[in-house]
Structure 1
Amino acid sequence: GSLPNSIANLSTTHMNILSMGYNQLHGSIPSGIGNLLNLNILQMPMNHLTGPIPTLIGKLDKLQKLFLDSNELTEQLPSSLGNFTLLNSLFLGRNNIYGSIPPTLGSYRNLLELDLSHNNLNGSIPPEIMSLSSISISLSLAHNVLTGSLPSQVGSLKNLAVLDMSDNRLSGTIPNSLSGCSSLERLHLEGNSFEGEIPQGLGALRGLRELDLSHNKLLGQIPKFLGELGGLEKLNLSFNRLHGQVPIHGVFQNASAVSLVGNNGLCGDGGGGSALLLKLPPCPSLNPKKNKLSHVAKVIIPVAIVSICLSLLIFLFIFCHRPKLLRDIKGSLMPSFKSQLFRVSYADLLKATDGFSDANLIGLGSYGSVYKGILEHAQTAVAVKVLNLQLRGASKSFMAECKALR
């Protein structure tokens, strides 16, 4: 059945507790319930109550526990819920409540647990909620459609044991200020769109037993400090964008306690440790000296290849232009020899070509080499061909060239 409006008549009594949970109650919560000013505990969970939470419920300023979870309540949360200055437990989870979370909920000073999970709440998380340092049991906003970042004020929850923000649409980086939640035992941030690396601040949570960061967009390597949290019993980092070697200590030695699937860049130590236990591919190389050598090789090899290619290009240029160089030299020499013929000794040629040095080499032929030089006594440029008479046909080539010069 439904709750009668006559429930307001109970205000003449000194009733402190109204418990109607786990029944088949239908309909809405009558606004007259706000007249029960002496109530300390109001319990109506696991029914079929519908409609909004009445605004007049905020008149119950002596209320310490409010349980309206697991119903079918709708519409927005009234800001008057912030009037419960003595409240220590607020459970409104598993309803159809929508809209934003009223910042007035941050006025609680004695709250120990808050559950707004499994609703349709949207908008950002009020920083005032994250500043409720009195919360010590649990804070759950899971399974809503909350957006924006996780406020850095979360570090104020130094007494909190359980924080659950899973399955929302939160984004940005996971705040490093979580290091202030020194009493945290279970942290659930899965099913969001958190980015960046796993913050170093989580290493300060020495009492952490469960950590779930799965189904986000986290990058970077898995920090080693996660293997140093001695009390960590369950770790889920699956379906992110993590890469690199997985730590081998602590919780990573228990394959049933760790989930890393969906991170294609992860690898194991290859020595029968994390690679074998967690069914990971071995890392390509864990030898820093080998890696250092490979980096040096990556620099030296391209430089060597470029140098060789340049040398070949220079050689081909000289080889292809050799006939033109010879013609130019012959053209400059012929007038001198036509006008004046003189004898030249071997010593003169040796001196003119600087001992037939490679610097004066201007061409290579089938039977010898051609050098350029300047005759000292005549100050005349000459080209000197040195034949290798040990080669077959060299003498014939010499005679043919002599005939051509006549």
Structure 2
Amino acid sequence: MIDALEQAEAAVAACLDTPAWASSEHDLVAALDAVHRVEQRLAAVKLTLVRELDGRGTATAQGASSTAVWLRDRLRLGVGVARRLVELAAALDAAPPGVRDALASGVVDVEQVRVIAATVETVQSTAGTAAADKAVGVLVDWATQFDAALLRRLGTRILDHVAPGVADAAAEAALRAQESRATRDRHVTISEQTDGRLRLTGILDTEAAAALRAAIDPLCAPTGPDDVRTPGQRRHDALADVCRLALRTGELPENGGDLAQVVVTTDYDELTGQLGTGALDTGLHLSAEAVRRLACDAAILPAVLGGAGQPLDVGRQRRLISGPLRRALVLRDRGCAFPGCDRPPRWCDGHHIRHWADDGPTCLANAVLLCGHHHRHVHHGDWVVQLGGDGQPEFIPPAWLDPEQIPRRNHYHRRN
């Protein structure tokens, strides 16, 4: 074996010395296929050696705590990679001969073998040795057409092909076990960061995952050619939009139900002067710009505070774009008015074209519907919003985007 491997090593070294640029495209493709086959055959040899060394207890004899640890030091592998190597070697040794033969022939790769071995083990425990032997042939044939990920999905229905008599019962049992695991493992963890942001981690069960997908997927698409958000940022904004919609329904428990549940306290003079910050009821702070944006579609309660900050007099709510005014705004704009956006009215805030804090009136002529993303975009960007001569909203792009600054309109919501 040592002599053969040394010859193989010399042959590989000779290939490295051969200039690839001198080969034709056909020869390059053929060489790539040959390298892949040799790589898988070498993997089969490597797994055989690992299994034999593990069985002999070489690692512990040389002072290592396990074969995986010994491989980590000997081959300079990550311990996770070394552990998976030992596990696959054991699985391959226990699998029907056809699995090892498939790898040794170079027909399948290591990841596909991992899937085949696990699937065959399941078939063996469910339907017996004969069905397992038959499954090897089916899976190896599939492996010549599909990668490991798709092979794993196809493998979930392997019993339909090799043991149809028990397939339905096994599938039902597997589904019940999967649902039980999903119910047991479901959780969401909300970790508050020092700057007020939240880190979300967790696992959703199948039903909750489907509901989340149905709610946010339509909101995750780019809103137009100017949308430079990453996919992760779009998912973030979609989740925020879903939360805002839930707050607007008025159907949440007593602790929620409308936008007023997000409580921001700021000084009136600082709000109108675009200075200072706002304080959330959690004790965290927002920038003046963020406070002004939130104030576009929130209830404002003027308050007179005593020297120690206690409220002495709280006036009535005012300046909210709601009721008949919002209905008129929906009839006019029919959705987010930003050019190219298809968000419906229920996803939109009422935005003051001239901010209320700058003495802008709360009226139809000074309001426009904007979705959450474009509401932030208008507040942060250089777009100018105005009403055209026909009373319809139009948006003047910044000079860096359009030097001529030709007003743009949203034609998505037009009905004629």
Q: Per the shorter chain, which TM-score range?
A: under 0.3
TM-score normalized with structure 1 length:
0.24
Structure with higher RCO (Cα < 8 A, 6+ apart): 2
Per residue, is there more helix in 1 or in 2? 2
| Structure of greater Rg | 1
